[in-house]
A and B are shown apart, each in its own frame.
Chain A
Amino acid sequence: MPSAEFFAALRSIIGPERCITDPGLLLAYECDGITHLRTTPSAAVLPESREEVQALVRLCATHGVPITGRGAGTCLSGGATASAGGILVVFTRMKRILKVDAANRLVVVEPGVVNARLSETLRPLGLAYMPDPSSQTACTLGGNVGENSGGPHCIKHGATSASVLALEVVLPDGSVVNCGHARGRTAAPDLRGLIVGSEGTLGLVTAITLHLERIPRHELTLLASYRDMRSACEGVSAVIAAGILPSALEALDDRTIAALEASGKPSGYPRDAAAVLLLEFDGEASAVRAEAEAASALLRNAGAITLEEATDSEQRKRLWKGRKGAFGAMGRLAPDLYVMDTVVPRSKLAEVLPQIGRICDQLGLRLANVFHAGEGNLHPNISYDGRNPDEVKRVIEAGHQIVELCLAAGGVLSGEHGIGTEKRDYMPLMFGADSLSAMRDLREVFDPQTLFNPDKLLPTPRICAESGFPGKPRTRP
């Protein structure tokens, strides 16, 4: 626990009302979207300017107090929780949209701006910020940068990194560096790209310049249903292999559809469907039509039992209803939900998904899959009761087996939720000693004191031994 002197200085920087130390109030900051990983911060502070962030960082550096940046705390890898004795710097009050430049299709925002609020602000201008995490009504752009977040519509336009032009970053010594440039390219190696997805370990982002797209003139949504997931996956692979680039390509399995029906908010998807694909195409009408027709033929060929198409916004909304409600419905199945995130090559979906089903069946766990199929980005969702230690143990084991399965299929640890503490100890499964030591070097260059989010992202021998969830340290064969 930091000293009384530290807390006094903290309050003098930020004022008592934006410096939360009351244990009752701190409960709200104990965990992020991974409810299993809990630590109580010694304080949660809510700065309103870059200068305040700099002062906070300098104070923490002097006292050796760890800092974790936090947006809305919806992170699904345990990355937005405080480190032992550390504080949380919560960016939700830095929520100004600083500049909208329609001519150059860019905005400058503070990190606390909520993703969906930016889209609402831009809509009247005919502009859109494309990355749309399913959590977009809550999550912040700073958090999106922290995780390099994706979303259903990232297959065509790319995840967060592809939209980030420049960042203003407070480094662990309190100094500021501006990385990237509004024009897109710089003379330097791409520090901007390094900081995106670095999970708050290299710097705290205090301003973000984002590239915008024009709102597409036409959108067409296709819903294809299948009697089994294997056929649906073959449909996905066929569309991708044909070089068709939809703006979204999502999948739901029978267990998710059943959860939707059980939740009292039925999806409206065909009753005999064991798997559903949602595809969207955007652009000019004739291009959208040509792509949708080509995709429909391939989907039918893979065994689609129904194919529905919608172009007007009400109809499209209806087709998306099940996808949008999926997480909520699964949340109602059991007290806790473990949303996993891994990626496999898109040609391996049909092979890997049934094996994930078997892993969970064998461990007696309730699984449902809803995922970004077009990118091979899986979300095996396991509903469980965190009060049952045996079930928690089985969830951890399933997570481990799924990770190993996906890596063996040529995949990676995470597609969009990041490493955090959840997958930290799996890093040696994917990276050899040289790669890990280079990543450690890189972190030390930015943060020699390891002040920023210290126990996240990279395994250390000490942390491996201490970690509870899910952490079974193993090394790459």
Chain B
Amino acid sequence: MTNSIAEVEDAECIFVIGSNTTSSHPLVATRIFRAKEKGAKLIVADPREVHIAKLADLHVQHNLGTDVALLNGIMHVILERNWHDRSFIEERTEGFDDFKRVIDRYPPDKVAEITGVSPEDILRIAEYYASAGTASILYCMGITQHTTGVDNVKSLANLAMLTGNVGKESTGVNPLRGQNNVQGACDMGGLPNVYPGYQPVNMLDSQKKFESAWNATLSDRVGLTIPDMLSGLMDGSLKALYVIGENPLMSDPDSHHVEKALKGAELLVVQDIFMTPTAELAHVVLPGASFAEKDGTFTNTERRVLRVRKAIEPVGESRTDWEIIQDISNRLGYAMDYDGPEEIMKEIAAVTPSYGGISYDRLEGPGLQWPCPDPEHPGTKFLHKDGFARGKGLFHAIEYQEPAEVVDEEYPLWMTTGRVHVHYHTGTMTRNSPSLHAEMPEGYLEMNHRDAARLGICQGDLVSVTSRRGTINVKTQITERVREGVVFMPFHFVESSANVLTNPAYDPVVKIPEYKVCAVRVEKAA
């Protein structure tokens, strides 16, 4: 997030797009409730009537994958009505003219045709957002999990810059990171192109810096992303895969393809706390420890580094993950001799500028928000206060593009996927929690009553759902939450795993799969 969770409650306008906040980020949703009580306007744009939409001053259900068009339409109105922040644009941004030329091509009637949102509603969103003294955008995977994921995010940044809602309290463009430590895994260099602190692997300076810090010769070739590693296993260029705490067989799109790829590995090592479907395919399974059995830190969605503390010993013979990695490294001949996570954090602080001032001593209280470059620095509540990292904020001129897969005669329904409040990701943890499992023991398909009537399907009927990649069986829930022509499935359930169906089409830049849109056919199961 550019801003902090607590700031949300003081925003005058909150624009939630592609986030089922009450299910996926309940304690951010709490701040939205408080903001509403203080009189904030709440706009929700989501193809489903997610719970937070019921509280909204305005909820629009745009067609799947039409976010860029919707946002361009909103910005068209803002420009047309002169609601933009001229001085902010002049002083703090560049690229405005090219951007404006594209926006001119998105008048509300045209946008209404693409998105299914009426010109009146587009006008109201523009008015609420642009007229607020402070407006905050919250988004989640409904924005990013598209072939146009990067375009979607850039469009949100355009909207915030256009109205000067950046670099101040209670504003900003705020991604709600789905997994507890996805922010930290990125910060720590768990990415193919960067070392810790986003220092590029193919820049000589950073390569030299890490070569001397780690006393090793390092490669300057950018590595493979997950989808590329999976294709590498298919074509034989990748032979060994070491998976820690992930379950790609269920979490990645097109499970049948993933299974084939994983089976092609000469060596598949899976380090996890449960026997996941991915671990079933492994040559070696190493039992790691859960968060309650180790010391360390997580970095939450507002960049806050927080302590994790060991409460009990690792169960059975399981071991903490850092010890396992250290032991394997020593066996490979690269010596590691850490006596614990605190010592690792010291090394992190030494090589990662944004974590430079972070140490366990300083994390005893409420944690610290990076950037925190030195031991005296208090941490950073919101970013871009005195300007953008690159100097000026850049407007991007972005045209709308259709999703990679669209409905046709054979696959006439749009399908989208997401989470539910009691479960998490592939269900490995929550389905092993009796209280959570009891709340929702099985998966389901949400379908509009009109589609159901047409197909002769009743509430609770078992149906088969087929996409170009596979078929699964699941029970139906007939509902108004989705519009006619759209179905929704959570992806937590292995027996009816939504990712058998999803489309492995990726955003060309960051390789996010298009989980949020594919075309399916639904039939009553035999």
A, B co-complexed: no
User: Residues of A with Cβ closer than 8 Å to B?
Assistant: none
User: Residues of B with Cβ closer than 8 Å to A?
Assistant: none
